[in-house]
Amino acid sequence: MHEELVQIINGAVPEAKAQLNSAEIGDSSITVDSSAIYKVCETLKNNDKFNFNVLQVISGTDFLPEGEEGYLELAYILASFTKNHEVIIKTKLSRGSDDNLPKIDSLCKLWSAANWLERETYDMIGVDFVGHPDLRRILTSSNWEGHPLRRDYVVQEIFNGMVVNPPEKMNLEDQQFGVKTNADSLSNKNPMGI
Amino acid sequence: MTFDLSEEEKIESPQGSEENIKSEILTVNMGPQHPATHGVLRVEIKTDSEIVTEAISHIGYLHRCFEKHAENIDYRGVIPFVDRMDYVAAMNMEHGYVMAVEKLLGTEVPRRAEYIRVLVAELQRIASHLMFFGTYSIDLGAFTPFLYAFQEREFILRIFEELSGARLLYNYIWIGGVWNDITDGQLKRLSGFCDKMEREIDKYHNLVGLNKIFVERTARVGVMDEDLCYDYGLTGPILRGSGVKWDLRKDRPYSIYSEFDFDIPVGTGEHGVLGDCWDRYWVRMREMLESIKIIRQVLEGIEAGPVMGKVSKIIKPPKSEIYLRTECPRGELGYYLIADGGKVPYRVKVKSSCFTHVSVLSAVAPGLMIADLVATIGSIDIVLGEVDR
């Protein structure tokens, strides 16, 4: 199925440069160029044979190997409820910076579901969806700083005049039940092999 | 108190009505601590007298960033966290996650463990739908059905407590199998429960579902048609309530669901329009009957054997990724898992059905009465733990 989808995408949207990542374990996926994501999804949605009519997930992952620049990977998971298919479309973005978030086209015109999914991705991973009608934070507070699912995320220290994670209230291991040795001995005899 | 008719007529008369009666859009906050929103959901409603013109949902009050936690704990340690998403259907949450990890590991799960998993998942579905039935009745102003529903739900929770030691958050389904075996005595009690439950559901439906007030409150209210469902990605009982015969247990079978014989109930619009609140209620009630059918087949087919497969002490799936969805009581739950070959998952993304279901409110709400909006939110049946994660 995936080879055929790659052909369909490359036939309709040549600038997408779709590539197949076939996997022996788990799921295969298709990588496309980030500039063509709207057209790719439009093609897949309107394709008669596959008819991917539901946008299930927009997921962002931050890949940040040590010493390298790293990149963001967005995964759009589409499903067809009429023909019973499902596909993972991936695209890579640069990580950008706090005041210059990476940009990608919004899919709100294709699916209303994209509205909240993109807001979540913006909130958690920090991607600017161009053309989104109402790009606000959704899970965190509107004046929260940073994007929690980035690998280099550091929790802000002061929020609305309150100290975030004050040390005396943190459930640190050695403060748990006030017994330091207890926690140490527990981790030695860890039955789960963690 | 006397009621002066002539006064009322004066107001309705065309003379002076535009000067005396002013229409104004009023903003009302429903929630976050409101019994009708089933948790900490805030809906900002703009109303023109009783009619809702706009509804904006604000979520995130229960946000714990489970996905960030999952990046820092090992694969087994994630299971208690997924429990806490949909805390009234924790078994179904665990089932999906554990299957995703097992697929990456290539673990064989013993037959008996698979049977027990299906058993607890279906029992949980009944318990969750009973919760819906009870709270939905309260939303619509009937208190008694809640007590009926919780009586039966209590039996299921007792069984779960005996199996796992906990009533709500179980950590029962483990990678490779289940934590604890089920006894013959428990299976026997479950078989008695099935017979009783069938009669009970019939009773509930006569008591509530066919009640004239209930029908008036729910029929033709909050209609969601098929196209709206696809547009917003609605799944589960909402999609089926709109007349679409789609159930992952049948259409993309996972676990051992392909071996069982059951039907997919869909909405028919018999009391109003296809896809209204009554249809969603009726789909859930019939789903409980189908779950009982599956449980009966499990009780017949379950064989003796081990309940835990061979799993290495340290779980390290190879570099891979998987997207696996399962049919939970509230809709489709998907886990998008990225493994980098280490001891902890690189990324766990949860596709939460409740999250997408809340987003549809702003599309359905305009034009509804405030009381009907409450009925619609109740019929969507959301759990805010899963919305906010």
* Chain A residues touching residue B382 (CB < 8 angstroms): none
Interface contact flag, B60 A140, Cβ < 8 Å? yes
User: Taking an 8 Å Cβ-Cβ cutoff, which residues of chain A contact chain B?
Assistant: 23, 25-27, 29, 53-57, 59, 61, 75, 77, 81, 84, 86, 88, 111-113, 115-117, 120, 124, 138-141, 148-149, 153, 192-194
Q: How far is A11 from chain B (nearest CA, A)?
A: 26
Place of tokens 């006397």: B2
Contacts of B100 (CB under 8 A, 6+ apart): B322, B324, B335, B337
Of all residues in chain B, the one with the smallest CA distance to A59 is: B349
Question: Which domain does A129 fall in, by range?
Answer: 2-140
Q: Provide the mean pLDDT of chain A.
A: 81
**Chain A contact for B321 (CB, 8 A cutoff):** yes
Above 70 in pLDDT, residue A191? no
Q: Is the pLDDT of residue A183 over 80?
A: no
Q: Average of pLDDT values for B45-57? A: 88
Burial class (CB in 10 A: 0-12, 13-18, 19+), B368: buried
Query: B230 vs A54: CB contact, 8 Å cut-off?
Result: yes
Give me the pLDDT at residue B14, please.
52
Average pLDDT of chain B is 86
What is the C-alpha to C-alpha distance for residues A131 and A105, in angstroms, rounded to an integer?
A: 6
Least confident among A23-37, A177-191, B44-58, B347-361? A177-191
Residue ranges of the domains in chain B?
67-357
Torsion angle of C-alpha atoms B294, B297, B301, B304, degrees rounded to 10: 60
- B25, containing H or E segment: strand B25-30
Q: What is the pLDDT of residue A75?
A: 92
- pLDDT tens for each residue of B4-50: 545 545 455 555 555 666 678 888 888 787 766 677 888 889 988 88
The string of pLDDT tens digits covering residues A141-168 is 888 888 888 888 888 888 888 888 787 7
Quick one: chain A helix, strand, coil %, rounded to 5? 30, 25, 45
pLDDT given at position B383: 86
Across the interface, whether the CB atoms of B230 and A59 are under 8 A apart is answered no
Q: Over range A102-118, report the average pLDDT.
A: 90
List CB contacts of B68: < 8 A, sequence separation 6 or more: A148, A149, A153
Percent of the residues in chain B that have a pLDDT greater than 90, as a whole number: 20
Interface of B with A in 258-287 (CB under 8 A): none
Residue B300 reports pLDDT greater than 50: yes
> How many residues in chain A?
194
CATH number at residue A47: 3.30.460.80
Measured distance CA(B298)–CA(B302) in Å, rounded: 6
Tell whether the model's pLDDT for residue B148 goes beyond 50: yes
Distance from the Cα of A137 to chain B's closest Cα (Å) equals: 10
Nearest to A75 by CA among B130, B323, B35, B23: B323
Average pLDDT of B44-68?
A: 87
Cα gap B159→B336, rounded to integer Å? 31
Task: Residue A28: name the closest of A7, A3, A59 by CA.
Answer: A3
Cα separation, A132 vs A142, whole angstroms: 17
pLDDT at residue B97, rounded to an integer: 92
Q: Is B232 on the interface with A (CB under 8 A)?
A: yes
**For B62, nearest residue in chain A (alpha carbons):** A139
Q: B62 to chain A: which residues are within 8 Å by CB?
A: none
Strand partners of residue A75: A59, A90
User: Residue B15's pLDDT is what?
Assistant: 53
Are B59 and A139 an interchain contact pair (Cβ–Cβ within 8 Å)?
A: yes
Does residue A96 lie in a domain region? yes
The residue assigned the tokens 């975030």 is A164
Answer for the pair A10, A36: CB distance below 8 angstroms, yes or no.
Answer: no
Query: Do the Cβ atoms of A56 and B325 come within 8 Å?
Result: yes
How far is the C-alpha of A139 from the C-alpha of A151, rounded, in Å?
18
Residue A7 lies in a domain: yes
Question: Rounded to whole angstroms, how far apart are CA atoms A58 and A87?
Answer: 12
In CATH, which of 1.10.645.10, 1.10.569.10, 3.40.50.300, 3.30.70.260 is domain B67-357? 1.10.645.10
Interface mutation target, options A2, A76, A138, A153, chain B, most CBs of B under 10 Å: A138
Q: Do B74 and A194 touch (CB under 8 A)?
A: yes
- What is the pLDDT averaged over residues B144-173? 89
The pLDDT of residue B304 is 87
pLDDT digits (tens, 9 = 90+) for A62-78: 888 887 888 889 999 99
Banded pLDDT at A193 (limits 50, 70, 90): very low
Are A24 and A40 in contact by the 8 Å Cβ rule? The answer is no
What whole-number percentage of chain A has pLDDT above 90?
Answer: 10
**pLDDT recorded at residue B291:** 92
Nearest by CB: A81 against B59, B77, B230: B230
| Element (DSSP H or E) covering residue A185 | helix A180-188
Determine which helix (DSSP H) or strand (DSSP E) holds B291, and give its type and residue range: helix B277-301
Predicted confidence (pLDDT) per residue in B88-104, tens digit: 889 999 999 999 999 88
Question: Domain tally for chain A?
Answer: 1
**How far apart, in whole angstroms, are the C-alpha atoms of residue B377 and residue A30?**
37
